[in-house]
């Protein structure tokens, strides 16, 4: 990972999020800490239920406050989001941080024109601007996100747009106040492949233009390879590896990260000649296995009675490229992967 001289745009410190359910307490995020610096694209990867979306929702304080208990610190623009007044957090949303979700249709109100929805997001932070002037700002933004004939389309409703065009509108709403940080939660998953590539290209172009920082949640390692500088791998609510993109693809230090790569033909499989999958399923977040939560699925586990089964691994620096890994055997895993024996 790179050295940073400046303060991070986002600093997440020992974040814990749990939900009370009829079946017990779900520990969705368990002691997550990381920093994101200006202009970076950081990708968060992991299977469904690994805690990545809950973690992202915490940054905007979107988790249901009646069932969720959240502790730790989330520093955004010098403000601790978790302890700030609701009015302060509302001020941060849109201007400091904005979020794009997977399904553009559910993010848009079917009863209002797209122009009104983009303008509303703008006017919340610029109440002194007239509606007429806001319309001009909206038209400019629609041009930036690649909506053809914006003068006509500004007065149309979401159902009159294709999925890709709707996601462009959602991006326009997110960027209308030039936030420093954009959180994108699987922003291209609901789109077909060619549109996915267009939306990703658009996000990267706009990142350069606006000087934004991006936190991208995705399960698509092709996307990670294309856009990320740093990669955070989550499993069972914890970070199990954080590395720069080169390291994660060429020298992963956690068996789970290696497994994710090995299940994609163009990456890890090439080292052993065929594809493999990670056996088993993610654990219940209500009753995690003792020790390392990944041990029931890990091909490197030391087995019965070992520290893999009794001691929770701590996220620690491994190797000489700034990677962090939460595996007792990270150094050995790194060496075995380097020799092509990382996956058995």
Instruction: Please state, in angstroms and rounded to a whole number, the distance separating the CA atoms of residues 321 and 326.
Output: 16
Q: Does 261 bind ligand SF4 (CB under 6 A)?
A: no
140 C-beta neighbours (distance < 10 Å), count: 12
Contact pattern for ligand SF4 over residues 275 through 314, marking x by CB under 6 A: -----------------x-xx--x-xx------x----x-
- Give the DSSP letter string of 123-185: HHH-TTS-HHHHHHHHHHHHHHTT-SSHHHHTTS-GGGS-HHHHHHHHHHHHHTT--SEEEEE
Going from the C-alpha of 98 to that of each of 91, 134, 175, 222, 286, the distances in angstroms are 11, 19, 7, 24, 31
* Residue 149 Rama label (left phi>0; alpha psi -120 to 50; beta): left
Q: Does 235 bind ligand SF4 (CB under 6 A)?
A: no
Options 32-40, 78-86, 134-142, 327-335: segment touching ligand SF4 (CB under 6 A): 327-335
Which residue's CB is nearer to ligand SF4, number 161 or number 294? 294
Which residue's CB is nearer to ligand SF4, number 21 or number 341? 341
Q: Does 343 bind ligand SF4 (CB under 6 A)?
A: no
2 C-beta neighbours (distance < 10 Å), count: 9
Q: Does 255 bind ligand SF4 (CB under 6 A)?
A: yes
Which residue's CB is nearer to ligand SF4, number 124 or number 302? 302
CA distance from start to end of the chain? 28
In the bound complex, what is the minimum distance in angstroms from residue 219's beta carbon to ligand SF4? 20
Which residue's CB is nearer to ligand SF4, number 158 or number 237? 237
Which residue's CB is nearer to ligand SF4, number 97 or number 308? 308
List contacts with ligand SF4 (CB under 6 A). Answer: 254-255, 292, 294-295, 298, 300-301, 308, 313, 327-329
């Amino acid at each position: 990972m790179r050295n940073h001289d400046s303060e991070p745009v986002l600093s997440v410190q020992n974040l814990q999020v749990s939900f009370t359910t009829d079946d017990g307490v779900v520990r969705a995020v368990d002691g997550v800490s990381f920093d994101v610096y200006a202009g970076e694209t950081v990708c968060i990867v992991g299977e469904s239920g690994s805690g990545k979306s809950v973690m992202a929702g915490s940054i905007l304080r979107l988790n249901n406050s009646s069932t969720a208990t959240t502790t730790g610190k989330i520093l955004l623009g010098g403000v601790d989001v978790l302890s700030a007044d609701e009015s302060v957090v509302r001020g941060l949303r849109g201007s400091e941080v904005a979020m794009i979700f997977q399904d553009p249709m559910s993010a848009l109100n079917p009863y209002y024109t797209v122009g009104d929805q983009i303008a509303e997001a703008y006017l919340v932070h610029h109440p002194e601007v007239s509606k007429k002037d806001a319309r001009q700002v909206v038209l400019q933004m629609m041009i930036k996100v690649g909506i053809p004939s914006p003068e006509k389309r500004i007065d149309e409703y979401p159902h009159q747009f294709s999925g890709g065009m709707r996601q462009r509108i959602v991006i326009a709403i997110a960027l209308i106040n030039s936030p420093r940080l954009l959180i994108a939660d699987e922003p291209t998953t609901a789109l077909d492949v060619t549109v996915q590539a267009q939306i990703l290209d658009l996000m990267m172009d706009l990142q350069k233009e606006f000087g934004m920082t991006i936190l991208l949640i995705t399960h698509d390692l092709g996307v990670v390879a294309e856009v990320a500088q740093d990669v955070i791998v989550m499993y069972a609510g914890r970070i199990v590896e954080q590395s720069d993109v080169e390291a994660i693809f060429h020298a992963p230090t956690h068996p789970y990260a290696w497994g994710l790569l090995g299940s994609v033909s163009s990456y890890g499989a090439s080292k052993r000649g065929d594809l493999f999958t990670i056996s088993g399923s993610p654990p219940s977040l209500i009753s995690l296995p003792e020790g390392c939560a990944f041990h029931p699925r890990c091909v490197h586990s030391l087995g019965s009675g070992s520290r893999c089964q009794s001691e929770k691994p701590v996220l620690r620096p491994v190797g000489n490229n700034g990677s962090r890994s939460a595996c007792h055997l990270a150094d050995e895993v790194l060496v075995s992967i380097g020799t092509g024996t990382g996956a058995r």
